Chain A
Amino acid sequence: MRNLMRLPGARLVLHAVVVIVIWLVMVQVNDRVDPLMNYYIALVAMYATAMFGMVILVGLSGQVSLGNGALMAIGGYLFALTTLNWQTVPILGVPMNGIWAMVFAAVGGVVFGLLIGVLGARLRGPYLAGLTLGIAVGIPAIANRFPDLLGGETGLQLTVPYPEGGYAALDAGFEDQFAEVAPSGEALLPSADASLAPEELLTADNFPSADATVAPEDLLTADTFPSADATVAPGDLLTADNFPSADASASAGDLLTPDSFPSGAASLSPDLGGTDISGVDPTGTSDIDLGFILERWQASLAVAVACIVAFVALNLVRGRQGRVWKAVRDDPVAAAVSGISPAGSKVSAFVVSSLFASLAGAVFAQILSYVGPGAFGLGLSLSLLVGVVLGGRSSLVGAVIGAVLLVWLPQFVLSLSEDRGWDEQVTNNAPNLIYGLLVVLVVLIAPGGLMGSMQTLVAKVTKR
């Protein structure tokens, strides 16, 4: 096995295999879980995508940056602007689609990353942190300056671009499959969730609480929710479909700052949901519960992007470039006399991380069906920092763990508060309080985060 790994390109193949296996597994999971779960999966994948960049920037390159939320904003806004304003791709003339929009987002991210990198990468820690803090606060504020183009404080609603012909066309056997899925779909009702266990990212007991979040807002009635009831009026259906994005606002708001986020109602208007669906569903089979489709698409997309980014990140981190970043982080002078340009290395970390961040931002825009300054504020940047520190500053796996923590903890706290009857004020802020305290504890006790501690533990055990 050792010898096999010495073959040229062996590492590349290994990474490809690992990523593809994960992707295949996730595709199966996406097909089998309910929309809410898919929505969570999409969020986790989105956070992981952004945090792979944070691992490279903060962990390997040692630059504490808060700018990645702003870079996500750039990706998200570019995605929204290009999909909303361009029918065709400029110069090439081919029809605009989601992939092209993501390409523009990525290019924008690289350009801004280069800009910020050139400005910031040579700065010492606290200066860089402060500069990027300014960027995290300042860039989303730009949206307020151009209300016509960027939608101001309320942001921009966007139609998530499905593949041509909708998700249904992508999956030829959709109707059959749906028929198969439907009965088990019943089983996925929040009230009867025991069968969820195998694929769960969330624990079974906190899952129902997700339903509870929604219930007070009366977005769903028990009958409209998961059962594919043919008699459901289109309007109700749309509301049902809209529910996850409403929840998106709410839970993103929890993660970020509870108050800065535009009220869930803003992104909830039924009309918009209406255009969403009618634009998406050319077959007009409104008797099929379309509520399942959007989330599945969002989750598959987010997972696919995360997998591609993970593949690139794996090769960078475990290859020569990863060693260069670490060398410069640990001793810039020694690296410089070994022929490595410290500044170049730091700028490259910035560029890579902002590429990942802008892609994550484009995915985030599609998950929320919305971009706005509140969604990409300082809170998002801080969330990324929290996730990457808790999971393990220098570990890609740690980034995924951190992403899961970011999505899971608020739901967990919510379910706890349901049980204990906590004040809403307490419930809203408990996750951030826990994050803040955990970050401090991790820095003091286990600077390597969860993954770092596990590695030390494993090393200790195997040594004995």
Chain B
Amino acid sequence: MMQFVDYLLGGIGSGAIIALMALALVLTWRATRVVNFAQVGQAMFTTFIALSIQTATGSWYVALIGAIIAGAILGVIIQYLVLGPVKRMDTSGAIIATFGVLIALQAAAGMIWGGDSQAYPQPFGNSAITLFGHEWPLSVYDLVVIGFAAVLVVGLTLIFTRTSLGLAMRATAFNPEVARLSGVRVSRTLTIGWGLAGIVGAVAGVLVAPTSTISPNSFDILLVFAFTAAVIGGLDSLVGAVSMGIFTGLLLSVVSGYSDSSNAPVAALVLLALNLLLKPEGIFGHNSARSV
């Protein structure tokens, strides 16, 4: 039993990161009804930028800020240059375009920083916390990750529910024509949505990198986990993405703990398949996943 709790706790940190990446996917989905499969590519790229900044300045915080700025810019550029011009009708085209961006970003990162896995410095120490005579499978770093995730989620929720920008973004997502007729500058709103998603993804990237390594492809599996979480969460819901992200993290941690970490991708796949089979619209959503 104690072991199970340990496995669960061990998954909170990675769950928070999955939650953030899922959040980024949800943000772009809400903005443009596109699942941005390039999101992890963007995060990978900005994390490499952060690593370069870290190496140059030695400051983890400066690197994080650099990644955030780069993430916002990258998101805006991709929306403005690629997804904006794709016709709304051409859903296949939009999906394919995001994969094209992913391929290009990974190749570009390989060109600039090389294909080898690189270590990202661990800023807060990775040793387990010992409390009440038990060594908990949680490190200070895990707590920092959870803290970042919480701040971002609360911040985004406030933006969406309390500000005019948030209202414009929601209206644009649900009914762009009515939004335009109400005077909302739709394309600008969409671009801001992608910028926000880029920021969230960039934070997730910088947070996940120290827990493993970073290479052009190292976030691919994170994309699968995050997509799973976002879909189970309903793809439209911030709360759904975050809670299901953490759930996915816990589940994968338990699966890895009792069997082997190489089972995690298959476990995520099974989870996703079950969800699409039983409740395709997700737990928090009202999107219909099925077309026929």
The 4 closest A-B pairs by CB, nearest first: A436-B104, A439-B100, A436-B103, A432-B107
Q: Which residue of A lies closest to B93 (CB)?
A: A443
Q: How far is the CA of A425 from the CA of B116 in the complex (A)?
A: 10
Q: Does A444 contact B277, Cβ atoms closer than 8 Å?
A: no
A182 to chain B, nearest CB (A): 41
A19 at the interface (CB under 8 A from B): no
Q: Does B85 contact A145, Cβ atoms closer than 8 Å?
A: no
Q: Does B262 contact A58, Cβ atoms closer than 8 Å?
A: no
Q: Which of A81-89, A243-251, A378-386 contacts B (4 or more CB under 8 A)?
A: A378-386
Given contacts A122-B291, A429-B111, A432-B106, contact A440 B82 (CB under 8 A): yes
Q: Which of A123-131, A274-282, A288-296, A348-356 contacts B (4 or more CB under 8 A)?
A: A123-131
Q: Which A residues lie within 8 Å of B217 (CB)?
A: 257, 259-260, 378
Q: Does A444 contact B97, Cβ atoms closer than 8 Å?
A: yes
Question: Pick the contact of A432 from B86, B103, B262, B288 — CB < 8 Å?
Answer: B103
Q: Does A141 contact B99, Cβ atoms closer than 8 Å?
A: no
Q: Does A131 contact B110, Cβ atoms closer than 8 Å?
A: no
Question: Pick the contact of B110 from A130, A145, A425 — CB < 8 Å?
Answer: A425
Q: Which of A132-140, A217-225, A264-272 contacts B (4 or more CB under 8 A)?
A: A132-140
Q: Which A residues lie within 8 Å of B99 (CB)?
A: 66, 129, 382, 385, 439
Q: Does A119 contact B277, Cβ atoms closer than 8 Å?
A: yes
Q: Does A137 contact B115, Cβ atoms closer than 8 Å?
A: no
Given contacts A135-B269, A443-B96, contact A130 B288 (CB under 8 A): no
Q: Does A435 contact B103, Cβ atoms closer than 8 Å?
A: yes
Given contacts A123-B280, A433-B111, contact A440 B262 (CB under 8 A): no
B7 at the interface (CB under 8 A from A): no
Q: How far is the CA of A122 from the CA of B292 in the complex (A)?
A: 5
Q: List 10 A-B contacts (CB under 8 A).
A: A137-B269, A141-B262, A382-B103, A393-B92, A429-B108, A429-B216, A432-B104, A435-B100, A436-B105, A443-B93
Q: Which residue of B lies closest to A423 (CB)?
A: B111
Given contacts A64-B92, A130-B272, contact A138 B265 (CB under 8 A): yes
Q: Which A residues lie within 8 Å of B223 (CB)?
A: 133
A428 at the interface (CB under 8 A from B): yes
B194 at the interface (CB under 8 A from A): no
Q: Does A138 contact B268, Cβ atoms closer than 8 Å?
A: yes
A208 at the interface (CB under 8 A from B): no
Q: How far is the CA of A432 from the CA of B217 in the complex (A)?
A: 13
A62 at the interface (CB under 8 A from B): yes
Question: Pick the contact of B104 from A124, A389, A437, A447 — CB < 8 Å?
Answer: A437
Q: Does A443 contact B107, Cβ atoms closer than 8 Å?
A: no
Q: How far is the CA of A285 from the CA of B100 in the complex (A)?
A: 50
**Among residues 78 to 119 in chain B, which have CB atoms less than 8 Å away from a CB atom of chain A?**
82, 85-86, 90-97, 99-108, 110-111, 114-117
Q: Does A126 contact B91, Cβ atoms closer than 8 Å?
A: yes
A98 at the interface (CB under 8 A from B): no
Q: Which residue of B lies closest to A141 (CB)?
A: B265
Q: Residues of A with Cβ closer than 8 Å to B?
A: 58, 62, 64, 66, 119-120, 122-127, 129-131, 133-135, 137-138, 141-142, 144-145, 257-260, 328, 332, 336, 342-343, 346, 378, 382, 385-386, 389, 393, 425-426, 428-433, 435-440, 443-444, 447
Q: Does A440 contact B100, Cβ atoms closer than 8 Å?
A: yes
Given A130-B228, A429-B115, list of 11 further CB < 8 A pairs? Answer: A62-B92, A119-B273, A123-B276, A127-B276, A129-B95, A257-B217, A259-B117, A259-B216, A382-B102, A432-B107, A439-B104
Given contacts A425-B115, A432-B103, A436-B103, contact A129 B35 (CB under 8 A): yes
Given contacts A138-B269, A447-B90, contact A124 B289 (CB under 8 A): yes
Q: Does B93 contact A447, Cβ atoms closer than 8 Å?
A: yes
Q: Which B residues lie within 8 Å of A129 (CB)?
A: 35, 37, 95, 99
Q: Which A residues lie within 8 Å of B273 (CB)?
A: 119, 131, 134
Q: Which A residues lie within 8 Å of B108 (CB)?
A: 429, 433
Q: Which of A130, A141, A142, A393 has the most CB of B within 10 A?
A: A130
Q: Does A122 contact B290, Cβ atoms closer than 8 Å?
A: yes
Q: Which A residues lie within 8 Å of B235 (CB)?
A: 126
B69 at the interface (CB under 8 A from A): no
Question: Pick the contact of A336 from B95, B288, B292 — CB < 8 Å?
Answer: B292
Given contacts A58-B92, A134-B228, contact A425 B111 (CB under 8 A): yes
Q: Does A119 contact B276, Cβ atoms closer than 8 Å?
A: yes
Q: Does B96 contact A126, Cβ atoms closer than 8 Å?
A: no
Q: Does B103 contact A123, Cβ atoms closer than 8 Å?
A: no
B260 at the interface (CB under 8 A from A): yes
B6 at the interface (CB under 8 A from A): no
Q: Which residue of B lies closest to A436 (CB)?
A: B104
B263 at the interface (CB under 8 A from A): yes
Q: Which residue of A lies closest to B215 (CB)?
A: A259
Question: Pick the contact of B85 from A66, A437, A444 — CB < 8 Å?
Answer: A444
Q: How far is the CA of A281 from the CA of B104 in the complex (A)?
A: 45
Q: Does A389 contact B215, Cβ atoms closer than 8 Å?
A: no
**Among residues 232 to 267 in chain B, which have CB atoms less than 8 Å away from a CB atom of chain A?**
235, 260, 262-263, 265-266
Q: Which A residues lie within 8 Å of B107 (CB)?
A: 429-433, 435-436
Q: Which of A120, A141, A382 has the most CB of B within 10 A?
A: A141
B34 at the interface (CB under 8 A from A): yes
Q: Which B residues lie within 8 Å of A124 (CB)?
A: 91, 288-291
B231 at the interface (CB under 8 A from A): yes
Q: Which residue of B lies closest to A344 (CB)?
A: B292
Q: Which residue of A lies closest to B273 (CB)?
A: A119
Q: Which A residues lie within 8 Å of B103 (CB)?
A: 382, 386, 432-433, 435-436, 439
